[in-house]
Chain A
Amino acid sequence: MTALPALDLAQAADAAEIMTGAQMVVRALVDQGVTDLFGYPGGAVLPIYDALFHEPRLHHVLVRHEQGATHAAEGYARSTGKPGVVLVTSGPGATNAVTGIVDALMDSIPLVVITGQVPTHLIGTDAFQECDTVGITRSCTKHSYLVKDVADLAHVLHEAFRIATRGRPGPVVVDIPKDVQFASGLYVPPDKARAGHDYRPRMDGDPARIAEAHALIAGARRPLLYTGGGVINAGPDASGALRRLAALTGAPVTSTLMGLGAFPADDPAWLGMVGMHGTFEANHAMHDCDVMIAVGTRFDDRVTGRLDAFSPGSKKIHIDIDPSSIGKIVRTDVAIVGDAGRVLAALGEAWKRGRGGPARADLKAWWEQIDIWRSRRCLAYAPSASVIKPQQAVERLYALTRDRDVYITTEVGQHQMWAAQFYHFQSPNRWMTSGGLGTMGYGLPAAIGVQTAHPGALVIDIAGDASVQMTIQEMSTAIQYDLPIKVFILNNQWMGMVRQWQQLLHGERYSHSYSASMPDFVKLAEAYGAVGLRAEDPADLDGLIEVMIDTPRPVIFDCRVERAENCFPMIPSGKAHNEMMLGDEPRDLGAAIDAGGRGLV
């Protein structure tokens, strides 16, 4: 127990209360506006769980594996704009959480991950369930803390929330030794907490750069808005500002995987997703535009393809809150550091103040060209009377759920790309997917997080049969908390994207990508206490999807799809945006990617 100097007590008596470190954790969460958290108890966090036992304002969701807790918190955060909170124990609790922490770092998701640690006097002795949590997570967190003194705890917890949510969001780990949880100290509320770090990300763009950007856009004949997850992270106002700027400038809009929903898919200016499995029109527009307005996006290799052929004729405006993203991959002509929403709004204001800009008519040739690309109908696929096509499954799922209050999560692979291509979003925060890290097993626990935040909504994990088995145990969590998530599995019995790459790149040698011994997903659902449905005939698909929607309980939907279907369009590795492979072209698949491309991922 930490002895408290009398002077401190007197000084802080008004503002603070004396409590244990464990009680401080719970109190800080409440004071930060947290209502839900995801976790798993263990020896080194038992004091915090004990404090949680007495706190009715916090709803704790017990997962079945700590990876599930981090992904659930990511889904919660992505669908609400609030930080996700995770509570796990030391050692394996912390190491199991690492995948989700890296995932949150790559996709800029605000998480506060509280980990128990062995008592301070045992740190460094290889104690039971000891690991160097801060060391292990140092490179995969935005920031991390080991709190060795209860006097620092409240300050650190409040700062953790501030750092996780401000600027470019990300995961923050707070590692708390068990003796610090037991020790008594003064609790400090958020408004009295001192900032240990001078962290003040730049929010407003430089007016001079905004004026330069405005002039470039005003002179453009082939402008393009290329937006990313940063627009979602900047909040609904940023999506509104994007929509207004697109309307003002008449520019078409494309986005990355992470940016889907910021711009409505039913708007005529929407080109679809850009990149490796993006649309023909979006990729050609990227290649041929003369002014690219990149907002909250980081020129990921899945977007740019071959860099020496990436949008060769364009001037590039890059708006990002993270200065290290600007100029990292692609040379930028106008760099604007700031919050996506604020900079987009400022650009819109500049546009309104400025005299004119190009008349819509000036963009006529550009839109005519875009219509030519659109007429290529790049997402067309050949339907079948006997077997369900995966594209068709997502298309029908969209048609039957689009008018509902729906949230979509995905796993990683072919099904993820088909979901991005065939499920359309009109608003932000409706689409949860693992973009940067590409974590198979993300979608099911993420759906649990989303459903926790939105109890009345229809939450669907569009899954693959291989991915879903990585975190299938979280079905048990869904049952325990009556979370009626729908796990919609596009079951082709393969690791589909691995199989596709082996077909294209490795001479059709399907090395260990076939899932033999597939579980019976209907029986598996029933074993967990969920509802299992199976669709095999295209004629039954709509009816069974309706049954799934109307089932007020968790559902595993085993959608048996065409097993050898490939995901197109595709920019083969090492190729340019205007060298796409389309689904309806006869081709020698093995010759599509050259030796250089094979070396890439």
Chain B
Amino acid sequence: MTEEHPASAYDMGHTVEAENLATFAVLVDNEPGVLHRVVGLFAARGYNIDSLTVAETDRNAHTSRITIVTRGTPHVLAQIEAQLEKLVSTRHVQNVTRDPNGAERELALIKVAGSGPERVEALRLAEIFRAKVIDTTIVSFIFELTGAPAKIDKFLELMRPLGLVEVSRTGVLSIERGESIL
């Protein structure tokens, strides 16, 4: 059994092949149920969704932009792209992972509770990460942090021993650098 040719179509999901993270930017017609079509496609074909963001981006053109972070083998990622393209509601799909020009950002709201030296240390680290304090009580902070997903992961890791109690993340947004558009 080689990686590219499993013994049967039924074994395709069982082959051990390196999975990569990928980010797809999908421009869709903004109509009722369009998100369900995209999410349903992922569920029906057994693809993962690591994060998903969606919002209308052009009111006049009735388009929404969906950014999906998923994972899979190169073969699966190519299928995901083709299947997304196939949806009638889809206008354009781009795998922005492999695009060195892609800029990725995520926003997180992070609640840290505690007092004493941990509280001071949390505030100090937040300054290093350029996180904003958007709410505070005498026993808690809420930080707002924007950045690449890896930066947010790193910040959360540092906050964990300092009283991290709750996280809300937007999921990844992406856009291409330079003048070209999706």
Contacts and interface: CB of A to CB of B under 8 A. Distances in A.
B2 interface: yes
A138 B86 contact: no
A294 to B, nearest CB: 15
A600 B10 contact: yes
B134 interface: no
Nearest to A140: B44
B139 interface: no
Contact of B29 (A139, A197, A306, A600): A197
Given A135-B36, A196-B29, A323-B82, A329 B9 contact: yes
Contacts, number: 73
B2 A308 contact: yes
A600 B9 CA distance: 9
B8 interface: yes
Interface string B101-120: 00000000000000000000
Contacts of B85: 323-324
B149 to A, nearest CB: 28
Contacts of B4: 331
B79 A307 contact: no
Interface string B84-108: 0110110100000000000000000
Interface residues of B, number: 30
A555 to B, nearest CB: 40
B88 A163 contact: yes
Contacts of A301: 8-10
Contacts of B88: 142-143, 163, 197, 199
Interface string A117-151: 00000000000000000110011001110100000
A328 interface: yes
Nearest to A172: B88
Given A139-B40, A198-B91, A308-B1, A328 B79 contact: yes
Contacts of A601: 10
Contacts of B2: 308
A268 interface: no
Interface string A193-205: 0001111000000
Contacts of B86: 322-324
A423 interface: no
Given A139-B40, A197-B89, A199-B88, A327 B33 contact: no
Contact of B78 (A135, A305, A327): A327
A488 to B, nearest CB: 33
Interface residues of A, number: 34
Contacts of B12: 307, 329
Contacts of B75: 327
Most chain B beta carbons < 10 A, residue from A143, A307, A596 = A307
Nearest to A304: B9
A329 B85 CA distance: 18
Given A196-B29, A197-B29, A601-B10, A308 B36 contact: no
A5 interface: no
Interface in A322-336: 322-324, 326-329, 331
A574 interface: yes
Interface string A562-601: 0000000000011000000000000000000000100111
Contact of B5 (A143, A198, A310): A310
Interface in B1-60: 1-2, 4-12, 29, 31-33, 36-37, 40-41, 44
B61 to A, nearest CB: 10
A138 B10 contact: no
B83 interface: yes
Contacts of A326: 82
B27 to A, nearest CB: 10
A43 B78 CA distance: 45
A305 B44 CA distance: 23
A310 B75 CA distance: 18
A138 B42 CA distance: 13
B12 to A, nearest CB: 8
A106 to B, nearest CB: 13
B83 to A, nearest CB: 5
B9 A574 contact: no
B90 to A, nearest CB: 9
Nearest to B88: A143
B9 A324 contact: no
B36 A138 contact: yes
Contacts of B10: 301, 599-601
Contact of B7 (A146, A197, A306, A329): A306
Given A134-B33, A305-B8, 6 more contacts: A138-B36, A144-B33, A198-B91, A306-B7, A326-B82, A331-B5
The 6 A-B pairs at the shortest CB distance, nearest first, are namely A324-B82, A301-B9, A143-B88, A308-B5, A139-B44, A324-B86
20 contacts: A139-B44, A146-B32, A197-B89, A301-B8, A301-B9, A304-B9, A307-B5, A307-B6, A307-B9, A307-B11, A308-B5, A308-B6, A310-B5, A323-B82, A327-B75, A329-B9, A329-B12, A573-B8, A574-B7, A600-B10
